[in-house]
Structure 1
Amino acid sequence: MEARHLRYALALAEHQHFGRAAKSLGIAQPPLSTQIAALEREIGERLFDRTPHGVFPTAAGQAFLTRARSALAEMNLARVDAGRAARGETGRLRLGFIGSALLAPLPGVIGRFRRTHPKVRLTLQELESSAASAALLAGELDVAVGRGAPRGAGAEDLVTVPIGADHLVAVVSTVHPFAGRPSVEIEQLAREPLVVSADAAGSYLRSLFEPDPLDGAAIARDIHTIAGLAACCAGVGLGPDRMRLIARNDIWFCDVEPRFRLPDLQMSFRVTDSSPVLAAFLSVVRQNCPDVGGRLDDLLARHPAATGRQPALGVS
C-alpha cells in the first residue's frame, strides 16, 4: 500500500464516480479502477459499493478512509517537519557565554535568532570562559562565547572567531576620588582595592601589576556584580570597555593608562558539527556582526576537519 492508494480512495469517496475521481487525480479511469480493486484485495474487504447511482464507501471503507486521511495528514506534516529541520528551523542549540557578551553582541544575535527561528529550543547558560570551553569540548554545548581561545584536548577541532574587541576600563563609585577623571594610571590602581572577574584574576590581568594586588581582590561573577561592588565603594572595578553600556547613575568609568587591550571576545564551535541549527545561528551572527563572516569563511577554508561540512553558512 502506497500513499497514492490512499489518495485514490479519498478522491473516489469525494466524487462518488470513477470518471470524475480519475479526472481530479489527472489519471485515466481504468488505472484508477484497477488500483482500487488491488487495494481492496490487499485490505481483504470491499471498500466501495458500485451502484448505478454512484460509488459509495462501505462501512469498511468509511473506517479505512478515516485512517487514510490521518495517515496522509501525518505524511504531509512529516515532509514539512523534515524541511524545517533541514533549514535549521527546528531542533536545539546550546549556547554558553560570559556575562559581558550580554552587553554586546549577544542581545542582537539572540533576539534576531529567536524571532527568525521560534521553533528552535535555545538553551542559554552563563559560564566563565574556561568552563564554557570545557563544556564545548565535552559536547555539552554547541557554541561557546568567552574571552580568548579555548584550550585543552580537542581544541584543535574547534573553530574560534573573534566577535568583539575590548580594552580595560576602571569603574568606581561617583563618590570615589577617581570619579570625574577621564583616565587613571596602572600605578594608581595598584594602590586600590580591586574588583575583578574570575576570568580576569586567573589570567590576563596578572601581567599588569607588580607586586600582584589581585590576590586580595574581590572576585565577581560578572560585570554587573563588578559595577555593583564598585558602586558600594568595595573597590575599583576592572573590566571590558563594553561595561560602559551598563545604565547606572551611581558609577563612573575611567580609561586605564597605558591602554591595555583585553583578549578578544571569541565564539567557538566544533568544526565537524554540521547541524542545520548551528548553520542558521552562524548566519544570524553574520548578519549582526558584519566583520565575522569573512573571518569565519577563512577559518573554515583553512581548517582540515572542515572537509565535507554542509555549505549552509550563508546569510539567510
Structure 2
Amino acid sequence: MEARHLRYALALAEHQHFGRAATAIGIAQPPLSKQIAALEREVGAPLFDRTPHGVFPTAAGEAFLDRARRALAEMTAAAGDAGRAARGETGRLRLGFIGSALLELLPRLLGRFGREHPDVRMQVQELSTAHSAAALLAGDLDLAIGRGAPRGAGAENLTSVTVGTDRLVAVVGSAHPYAGQAAVRAEQLREQALIITPADEEPYVRAGLRQLLGEDAPALRRATEARDVHTIVGLAACGLGVGLVPACVRAAPRPDTWISEVRPRIDLPELVMSFRTRDRSPVLAAFLDTTREQCPEVGGRI
C-alpha cells in the first residue's frame, strides 16, 4: 500500500464518482478503478459501494478513510519537519561562552538567531575559555566562545575564528580618587587594591599585569579575585578597589562607576569562536550564517 493509494481513495470519497475523481487527481478513469479494486483486495473488504447514483464509502471504507487522512497528514508533517531540520530551523545548539561575551557579541547573535529560529533549543553555559574548549573537544558543546583559540590534543580538528578584540580598562566607584580620569597609569595601579580574575580562569590577565606592574608587585599579591566581570564591576562600585575588566564593559555602564583606560595599554587575547570542522549540523550552520551577518568582519573565514 502506497501513499498514492490513500490519495486515490480519499479523492473518490470526496467526488463520489470515478470519472470526477480521476480528473481531480490527474489520471484516467480505468487505472483509478483498477487501483481502488486492488486496494480493496489488499484490505480484504469492499471500501466503496458502486451505485447508479454515485460511489459511496462502506462502513469499512469510512474506517479506512479516517486512518488514511491521518496517515497522509502525518506524512506531510514528517516531510515538513525533515525540511525544517535540514534548514537548521529545529534541533539543538549547545554553546559555551565566557561572561564578557554577553556584553556585546552574544546579545547581537542570540537575539537575531532566536528571532529567526524560535524552535531551536539553545543550551547555553558560561564557562572559562579552558573549560569550554575542553567541552567542545569532548563533544559536549557544539560551539565555544573564549579568549584565544583552543590548544592541545584534538585542537587540529577545530575551526577557530576571531570575532572580536579587546583590552583591559580600569573601573572604579564614583567616589574613588581616580573617578573622572580618562586614563590611569601603571604607577597608579601599583599602589591600589586590585580586583581581577583568578589566574586559573584568565592567566593572560595576570601575565599582562605582571609585565605592566612587575613580577612581584604587591598589588597583585593582595588582589581580590572574582570570576565574573559583573562581580568585578560590582565590587569596584562598592569601593573595594580598582577593577580590571575588558573594555566591552562600556556596553553596560553603571551610573555608580567610572571607567578609565589603562596606560600602557594591555591587549587581551582575541575573542574566538570555535567549532568542530567536520560538524555538519544544520543548526550550527544556521548559527554561523547569523554570525556572518552580525559580524561582517568575519567574512569568509567561517
TM range (shorter): over 0.9
User: What is the rounded CA distance, in whole Å, between the counterparts of 1:184 and 1:85 in structure 2?
Assistant: 52
Root-mean-square deviation (CA, aligned residues, Å) is 1.3
Could you tell me which residue of structure 1 aligns to residue 195 of structure 2? 195
Partner SS state of residue 170, structure 1 = strand
Partner SS state of residue 204, structure 1 = helix
User: What is the rounded CA distance, in whole Å, between the counterparts of 2:301 and 2:157 in structure 1?
Assistant: 17
Unmatched 5+ residue regions in structure 1?
297-316
User: What is the rounded CA distance, in whole Å, between the counterparts of 1:158 and 1:201 in structure 2?
Assistant: 22
Q: Residue 128 of structure 1 contacts residue 199 of structure 1 at CA under 8 Å; is this kept in 2?
A: no
Could you tell me which residue of structure 2 aligns to residue 219 of structure 1? 225
Aligned residue identity for 1:15? H
In the alignment, is residue 266 of structure 1 matched against residue 284 of structure 2? no
Q: Decide whether aligned partners of structure 1 residues 69 and 201 sit closer, same or farther in structure 2, where only a CA change above 3 A counts.
A: closer
Could you tell me which residue of structure 1 aligns to residue 235 of structure 2? 229
User: What is the rounded CA distance, in whole Å, between the counterparts of 1:267 and 1:45 in structure 2?
Assistant: 62
In the alignment, is residue 128 of structure 1 matched against residue 104 of structure 2? no
Aligned residue identity for 1:113? F
Could you tell me which residue of structure 1 aligns to residue 74 of structure 2? 74
- Pairing of 1:87-236 with structure 2 (within 5 A): 87-198=87-198, 202-207=202-207, 208-209=209-210, 210=214, 211-212=216-217, 213-236=219-242
Q: Decide whether aligned partners of structure 1 residues 17 and 201 sit closer, same or farther in structure 2, where only a CA change above 3 A counts.
A: closer
In the TM superposition, what whole-angstrom CA distance separates every residue of 1:175-222 from its partner, at most 9, and x where no partner exists? 111111111112321222211123686411223322144343222121
Aligned length: 296
Deviates more, 1:145-154 or 1:55-64: 145-154
Q: Residue 128 of structure 1 contacts residue 198 of structure 1 at CA under 8 Å; is this kept in 2?
A: no
Aligned residue identity for 1:260? I
Per the normalisation by structure 1, the TM-score is 0.91
Shift of 1:158: 0.8
Aligned residue identity for 2:256? D
- Pairing of 1:289-308 with structure 2 (within 5 A): 289-296=295-302
In the alignment, is residue 281 of structure 1 matched against residue 287 of structure 2? yes
User: What is the rounded CA distance, in whole Å, between the counterparts of 1:233 and 1:7 in structure 2?
Assistant: 75
Identity of aligned residues (%): 65
Shift of 1:154: 1.0
